[in-house]
Amino acid sequence: MGRALSNHLVIGAQWETLIGLEKEMTEIRSLARSRDASHFTVTDDGAGTRTVGLVSLPDATQTNAATTRYALAVVLRTLVDGPNVAFMHPDPDDPAKAVFVTLRDHRPELDLEVPASQLKHRLEQWTAEVEGPVKVAGVMRTDLPHADVILTLDDIAAAAVREATAETRIKPVRQALPARQLKIAATVVTLLAVIAGAAYAGWQWYESIQREKLAAANRVDPVVAYKQALTRALANESFSTGASYARHLQRAVQQLPANAGGWRPASIDCKARTCEIEWRRLEGGTFDLLLSQRPRAQIVDLDHANERFMLPEDDATSASTVAASLGAAKSEARTPAGAPSIEALEDDGDARVTPIPRNQFLRTAGARLQALGDYGMDIALTMPEPLVPVPPGVASRDDMPPPILKGEWKMAGHLAFFDSVAGLMMRAGNMSLGELKIVIDDGKPVFSAQGTYYVH
């Protein structure tokens, strides 16, 4: 609660920065309700920031409507030149207390009555928090800190009356509505209540009809929805890097020269259809010799160069091949006698990435992967997860395609086993190669490969 002094100055206001997200008076009324304030004043710091001072004055000060009261903090800003100001003055009604008002960056901040014994401590604490110089205003007394500007409460009151600006005046937050407006408002509320009551039943009927129409429009066959979701999921998978791609990649790597003008390949990193080669200089190798044999090489420094090449996409391994094969997969799953033999899969020239029955994959490529592990290679195989969850209760329908699952595979070992990658992928035709790395350093040459497999 604020306080009005005998010279019409008001102290004890709570100062808040206006955000400006709504109309100013709407925001002020909202803040006043939350702070239980009855009066306010608004000031501008000259840089566009507006600050409202909220104060709750006793009833005695509100009865005399002709009395104009002024916010001490706002008047103080017009009398003392400086961004940061602290004003201290003995309380005219209580010698044991003092008035303590501060301005930070030209905006009112603290507006308090404090015990006189704590005044010096409060000033030091506030000064330490402020960035920049502070100007102290007030009266010169032995029991008060030194004042840079001599200023009394009467000086401030006289300036407030003399200037009498709207910014310094304290105004009531809300005014009572005239009796005629109250009657009109009551009539409007009653009329709205009658209209709302009459329209409620009709609206309920209309809403129920709309809900029924919306429910009918939203009913979708779960098998149709599953097929659409599966088609979208398959479109995001890479089916163009199957066994055929692996053989092309194997031939491209094997055709690389072990020595290109005194430079040797130190590492090969292939992702999708893009491969990057790191060339490392040997004794006697020069830029001229390397570029004469590898014109696409990019020089990195005296001893290193990079080269990038891309493998062309094979139409036989495109994603459309997989989508076209899903219709036949259902009948193949139900008629084991019509399924292609393991030998036919191994001899498939295209080696298309096509989902196959899970057990068929495990008995062919899975078994081969185990054998490679027994030879000393590092292998890994994750169990497959559905690309799209199967809706409940539709698995037995004839138009339901077999669920497609995918898992991850990895293998790594000596470079002598590099041709095992394409050989493994040709076993089942459902594996794609996502990444291949070859490292040829002073130790043994090694490779690592990883990709995805698809089953149903």
Pick the last residue of a domain from 192, 219, 246: 219
Q: 393: helix, coil or strand?
A: coil
Whether 397 and 448 share a structural domain: yes
Q: 194: helix, coil or strand?
A: helix
Whether 116 and 255 share a structural domain: no
Can you read off the two tokens belonging to residue 278? 């790191």
Whether 294 and 441 share a structural domain: yes
Q: How far is CA 21 from CA 25, 48, 247, 426, in A?
A: 11, 14, 65, 66
Find how far residue 209's CA is from the centre of its chain.
40
CA distance 119 to 138: 12
CA distance 206 to 65: 55
In contact, 20 and 5? CB cutoff 8 Å: no
Nearest to 409 by CA among 436, 444, 389, 386: 436
CA distance 373 to 191: 85
Q: Where are the alpha helices (DSSP H) in 351-393?
A: 358-361, 367-374
CA distance 165 to 148: 26
In contact, 17 and 51? CB cutoff 8 Å: yes
Q: Does the predicted TM-score (pTM) go above 0.85?
A: no
At CA 335, angle to CA 326 and CA 352, rounded to 5? 35
Whether 29 and 154 share a structural domain: yes
CA distance 141 to 160: 24
Q: 78: helix, coil or strand?
A: helix
Question: What dihedral do alpha carbons 340, 341, 343, 344 form, nearest 10°?
Answer: -20
Whether 259 and 326 share a structural domain: yes
In contact, 269 and 428? CB cutoff 8 Å: no
Whether 291 and 320 share a structural domain: yes
Whether 328 and 415 share a structural domain: yes
Range of the domain at 359: 222-456
pLDDT digits (tens), the chain, 456 positions: 678 888 888 888 888 888 888 888 888 888 888 888 888 888 888 888 888 888 888 764 444 556 788 988 888 888 888 889 999 888 888 888 889 999 888 889 888 888 988 888 888 888 888 888 888 988 877 767 788 888 888 898 888 888 878 888 888 887 545 556 667 777 888 888 878 777 787 788 888 888 877 766 677 778 788 888 888 888 888 788 888 888 888 888 888 898 999 999 999 999 878 899 999 999 999 999 999 999 999 999 999 999 998 887 654 344 444 444 444 444 444 444 343 333 333 334 444 688 889 999 899 889 999 999 999 999 999 999 988 888 887 777 777 788 889 999 999 999 888 888 988 888 888 898 989 999 988 778 999 999 999 998
Whether 373 and 325 share a structural domain: yes
Nearest to 428 by CA among 327, 324, 356: 356
Whether 302 and 337 share a structural domain: yes
Whether 74 and 165 share a structural domain: yes
- What is the rounded end-to-end Cα distance, in angstroms, of the chain? 76
CA distance 187 to 163: 45
CA distance 428 to 346: 7
Whether 42 and 12 share a structural domain: yes
Domain count, the chain: 3
- Whose tokens are 């037995």? That residue is 396
Pick the last residue of a domain from 154, 188, 219: 219
CA distance 280 to 273: 23
Whether 333 and 446 share a structural domain: yes
Pick the last residue of a domain from 172, 191, 206: 172
Please provide the DSSP assignment of 405-438 as one string: EEEEEEEEEEGGGTTHHHHHHHHHS-EEEEEEEE
